A and B are shown apart, each in its own frame.
Chain A
Amino acid sequence: MRLKYLFPYWCRFLGWGLVILHVPLSMLGRAHGMTNIMDPQPRDQGIFAGEHLFFICTTLLMSAGLFLVAFAKEKIEDEQISHIRLDSLRWAIFINYLVLIISLVFIEDVPHMLELNLWVPLIFFIIRFRWVIWRLNQSLKREV
């Protein structure tokens, strides 16, 4: 089985780079008084206001980074990896909707729910995918 819609292997490292870069950038932004655009505030600044642009840039950086990490090929991309990938994606969607439904019922903060929804599927997918591969590697080491 050939998977066409995956990024090359090196994109994983680029992705982690973007995710790591996002952290000091957002901290710098917050230190300079830039609040999260999702926080309740008067919306009279317009789309191209500094804060909004800053938020979009950092969010894009983080999302693009996670996306690259999640959908970069493995060194040897075989059918078992595809199987684990699909299974992890299924779990990520399950968890995402569970979190979404629970927060819909119990939390009234809709803008932050949107933000949560942006991260949960990708982060959970990456954790689950890497964890299964790590377990496979461990069982291989035990056999050798």
Chain B
Amino acid sequence: MKNNIRVERAIKDMTQADLAEAVSVSRQTINTIESNKYVPSTVLALKIAKVFNKPLEEIFMLEDGD
């Protein structure tokens, strides 16, 4: 699963630490999600989408192999 959290963060001028605090996870978690090493749970994905005020599909996308 791909995501464009990094882009959305840049638009909102948020750091990884800001986003991590907003969704109550650690910075490591945000970092691994951004670098596609960790797939978040539905709850966390929805929380992240809510922070950016966008639908889930605009932030997380399925890849061919999924």
Interface residues, chain A, with chain B CB atoms under 8 Å away: 1, 74, 76, 78-81, 83, 133, 136-137, 139-140, 143
Which residues of the partner chain A approach B35 to less than 8 Å between Cβ atoms? 139
* Cβ contact within 8 Å between A1 and B28: no
Q: How far is the CA of A139 from the CA of B28 in the complex (A)?
A: 9
Nearest residue (CB) in A for B40 is A79
Select which of A1, A74, A83, A139 is within 8 A of B31 by beta carbon. A139
A/B pair count, beta carbons within 8 Å: 35
Q: Which of B's residues lie within 8 Å of A, judged by CB?
A: 24-29, 31-32, 35, 38, 40-41, 43-44
| Residues on A with beta carbons closer than 8 Å to the beta carbon of B31 | 136, 139-140, 143
**Complex contact B32–A80 (CB within 8 A):** yes
Given contacts A136-B32, A139-B31, A143-B31, A83 and B26 within 8 Å (CB-CB): no
Expressed in whole angstroms, the Cα–Cα distance for A104 and B24 within the complex equals 46
A80 lies within 8 A of B27 (CB): no
Min CB gap B9→A, angstroms: 13
* B40 contacts across to A, CB distance below 8 A: 79
In the complex the two chains form, what is the Cα distance from A76 to B26 in whole Å? 6
Residues of B within 8 A of A76 (CB): 25-26
Question: Chain B residues with Cβ under 8 A from A1's Cβ?
Answer: 41, 43
Check if A83 sits within 8 Å of B24, measured CB to CB.
no
Write the chain B residue with the least CB distance to A133.
B28
Which 9 A-B residue pairings sit nearest by Cβ, starting from the closest?
A: A78-B25, A76-B26, A80-B29, A136-B28, A140-B31, A78-B29, A79-B41, A78-B26, A140-B28
